[in-house]
Structure 1
Amino acid sequence: MISDNIILATDSYKQSHHAMYQPGTEVVSSYFESRAGGEYPYCVFFGLQYLMDEHLSGAHRVTPAMIDEAEDLCRWHFGQELFNRRGWEHVVSAHDGRLPVSIRAAPEGSVIPESNVLFTIENTDPDCAWLTNHLETLLVQLWYPCTVATISREQKRTLKSALEKSGNPDNLAFMLHDFGYRGSSSSESAALGGAAHLVNFKGTDTIAGLRLLMAHYAAEEPGYSVPAAEHSTITAWGEDGELDAYRHILNRFHSGTVAVVSDSWNIFEACRQLWGRELRDEVADNRERTLVVRPDSGEPERVVVECLSILGEQFGHSVNGKGYKVLPDHVRLIQGDGITRHSLPGLCDAITGAGWSMDNMGFGSGGGLLNDCDRDTLR
């Protein structure tokens, strides 16, 4: 692994900093914050435990072999002898390879206003003052899970407001499903981002996030999913077999929730003719199953409202106590294309503006959830 040597898990220039501190420096104390001027005036703090377990715990000790590797790399990388061999050998001899630093942090999952300390780090051995900021590069990677957790929370706020207006806020925990695994830059990114989303919600298809939470946070059953079709499971039947594909899925999944992507050819025709007429009785007569129709293309605000209208015409609807239309419990809709923190408020407004309750809906987000951010999103 690229990061299996903590000496080298840093920016190049930090290998020279031990020689730049004022002689006699015994303690360097640093802190990490979400600086003012970011997209949101707060940060959801998450991910430190994972980084500590994976890179800084006693299980990851510095060894003489690591020192030799780092010295060789620094020699040709810099073209001179500047590696801090003496300092790292002290870590091995005095601390059995464990890193003599102390980290203090806010509880993970906390919502912290900008310009406030999220965690501090300082050396505990006066001969290792150089070590504190050597670890900065690795620790600053916390920007990613913190930012995803914050973006996810903002979308939760949007959905909560829309549910309070038009439906039942008790449905909130499952309103935004993580579809981001395939769009992540690595499995580790997917795990960190997927876990960060689960600070706020309970729905995910990013198994890597589940595994991270179970391994590093002692989480039990941290997220849930449902059987769901992808385009290949429909198009494999051919256009003439679309109806058979849908019927086959209904026959295989008799209870619980099943989601079926329905835009392989024509989403409106699928809602009106296939689900709403040909398969209407099979859907309506089974009250132990909820069919979730999924459009996956087109302009979301137009497509979602039109699909709700068609499904309402075919399956009927009631009006809840807040004056909004609700489909029967056995029919719902999920929009998983084009969902970001920027697009979601407008889509919610379009749905409720057309008289539909948010109780009819679920949402999925992939790239917009796990990838539409950088270190300056929260600064």
Structure 2
Amino acid sequence: MSTHNSEPPSPTPVPDRYAPSVVAVEPRDMSRPNTHSTWSSPVARLAVSVAHLPDSSVNALCGASAGVASGIVTCPLDVIKTRLQAQGSFRPRKYTGPARVVYKGLTGTARVIWVEDGLRGLYRGLGPMLLGYIPTWAVYMSTYDSTKNLLYPQMENKWLARTLASIAAGGCSTLVTNPIWVVKTRLMSQVSARASDEHRPPWHYKNTFDAFRKMYAKEGIASFYSGLTPALLGLTHVAIQFPLYEFLKMKFTGLEMGQTDAKTEDVHWFAIALATVLSKMTATSATYPHEVLRTRLQTQQRSPPSQSDNHVSFRGGDPQQTIRPPGTASSDGMINLPRYRGILRTCTVILQEEGWRAFYNGMGTNMVRAVPAAVTTMLTFESLKIVHQKLKNEGKRVEEDTE
């Protein structure tokens, strides 16, 4: 009876054995899914990887991507500009008649190219253009940013530091990519078989690699550095454009090139575009003649091949006459020299044969091409830098949460 009436054992120890306390369970159960979901997310992993990338690599990648974008958008305008700049440089030696102008302005040149070559003609040289923009802007943007950061602590004059940085970056990118731009210019100046002899260059390339192969075999390695001197003179262009762009962007937004505003998510697209347009137009107007000199030298064949069915020469093909290599005497005892030799000689020849207006051939078209190209380049570059900064901040946050 006493046993029947005794109190049953307390149920408290049983739940304590099989149900852990809430405080002990919650951190373990919550931390595991959180860590797994954080590191399994592709965006989070990308953000963590980006957070560890050096700034030079980021600037190179953003610059290359920006250059490719602008190249695709503006290739047809670049072809038109090249045709206008090279017009008059392929006349045969014996041609004494008046210079016949085939390419007239933006729409006129586009119409001629469309009739003779079709859509493909408007995209001649796209391959080497894209091949060239990748190292050009990759080298330029990374060198410009690193040189600027190196000079800033040593110079009080920020404008001078930016100018020197742009010259150094432009020199490095020009030396690296000049061979690609020579091939691009050759391909863009190449016309169809239906064009007149007066405007047909003394070569024919099937594609980019065919151009590299033939130029090396027939003209040597020096042909890839034709026009290097005026190309280096073109450093005056970037010495004006990029310091002026940064100056204008600072005035409009308070930020330097590639910088983002940590206090706001707003992107100053209009200010970036306006700064780009003003800086590009100023630099192009001030330095355009060097582009004509560079194009003339790049489209001039250094020496005709010894065994050639086309009998090419420095001044264009002449199927009725065999032209000897430069420096040798022709049948009339005259030395066979190239038409364009150096900056001063090239300027003199253009002035004598075509007048001062030839130095501005294609400038209007170049402005129509260069301004959208610059806007595309800078908007793409600044956008990618913004994306990089956001990923970098997210990567740091993810690392802090998982520690």
TM-score interval, normalised by the smaller of the two chains: under 0.3
Higher relative contact order (CA 8 A, sep 6+): 2
Would you tell me which structure has more strand in proportion to its own residues? 1
TM-score w.r.t. length of structure 2 = 0.21
TM-score w.r.t. length of structure 1 = 0.22
Would you tell me which structure has more helix in proportion to its own residues? 2
